[in-house]
Amino acid sequence: MSKNTKTSFFCQNCGAQYSQWMGQCKACGEWNTIVEEIIEKRTKRNFPSNKSISSNIIKIHDIETVHEDRIISGDSELDFLLGGGIVPGSVILIGGEPGIGKSTLLLQLSLQINKKVLYVSGEESAIQIKMRGDRIKYSNSDCYILTETSIEKIIKKSIELKPELLIIDSIQTLSSSYIDSSPGSISQIRECASELIKYAKSSSTPIFLVGHITKDGTIAGPKILEHMVDVVLQFEGDRNYMFRLLRSHKNRYGSTSELGIYEMFQDGLRQVKNPSEILISKKDENLSGNAIAVTLEGLRPMLVEIQALVSTAVYGTPQRATTGFDIKRLNILLAVLEKRAGFHLGSKDVFLNITGGIKIDDPAVDLGVICAILSSNENVSLPDNCLFAGEVGLSGEIRAINRIEQRILEAEKLGYDVIFISKYNKIDIDKFNIKIELVGKVDDVYKMLF
């Protein structure tokens, strides 16, 4: 190997770097994932550039503040997630499982935005992209397709075309001639991402990158890509449901706690304006074990349906299973019911489900989970016009939660009559048109409902 070439060892699963080969990665624990890669080849590069960046030292007070308007994509969910639109010169990474809809989302964005777009694909041919585009109802005459994997050629074509939006599908398929590693390796991903970021910052062109994920659900080479880009979005969902969730894990230009919801159809992804209406089942009769809770995803209040099933353990050892809810949190709530409220659930199977295929980690749904479990245990249905919002503490108390007024207004807007909240929330209950029940302990809720 040439003396001008520098190599190192990388884990292909998590991106950890080592000075020598090891059988097991100390960072992620995977075996036989560490390979040697060329990380530097001392060859002079002649990348074209359409704009030079000054490197002079300057006082912060002497820097002129320039207001750049965000680009409105036409997708209200995506604009909301990005903090009001696409920032010029930003680099946005979208990760997700294969087939979840990443390419469909970005092709739909390319066809509905009123800008010049260059869509670069290293995985599909132009004919395949055209077939997918024919199913989408939008049309953009300034959408250009390039099927290429060489980063040098992609940047050269971009400088010639000067697009207002560049989409790369995907970063793992690109390669640089200055790195001898295969496409998808850690060194190639870092090199290609670095060149694209330089181009984005120098030309003020926003770039969308599609990233593959590892088997544990994280973006391949996460510590490399996530630290380099400006925004990291995770596209997720259950294939058994039509709903797709777009979450923000990093955003230099907005909040990281927002959520965008889509529904998958034959002609593309449709935005879900009111997720509460589609996440709650329409039933002809009230059934035991069902409760409605109010949760928050970022700044957006949302109603979710909680289903619980409590039955006698057949084989002696009780089972605990959840879908969309933390199993450890369920065990804590069951222990609170057993110790503080006197319900003997230690010998019973408990199954819990959050309908719609979404995952909830908001502690405000604790009260809804408790009521669904008690309803199934007593085999008594809850009133269909009531819902719950409160955190349950280890002493059995109902604790106050944040942004309670937003949750109450969402329940009021959807036509509910009663909401159970903690009495420790300091609010003026007279200004709402919905009946508010203030409770302090689990016992108080049980006496009111059963």
One DSSP character per residue, 200-250 reads HHHHT--EEEEE-B-TTSSBSSHHHHHHHSSEEEEEE--TTSSEEEEEEEE
Of 84, 126, 133, residue with least CA distance to 108: 133
One DSSP character per residue, 420-437 reads EEETTS---GGG-SSEEE
99 carries a ligand binding annotation: yes
**Alpha-carbon torsion (133, 136, 140, 143), positive or negative:** negative
How big, in percent rounded to 5, are the helix, strand and coil portions of the chain? 30, 30, 45
102 carries a ligand binding annotation: yes
Q: Which residues contact 185 (CB under 8 A, 6 or more apart)?
A: 10, 12, 35, 37
CA 362 to chain centre: 15
Residue 302: Cβ within 10 Å count:
22
Burial class (CB in 10 A: 0-12, 13-18, 19+), 374: buried
Q: What is the token pair recorded at 345?
A: 């659930």
100 carries a ligand binding annotation: yes
84 carries a ligand binding annotation: no
Q: How far apart are CA 297 and CA 113, in angstroms?
A: 26
Known binding residues for ATP are 96-103
Residue ranges of the binding site: 96-103
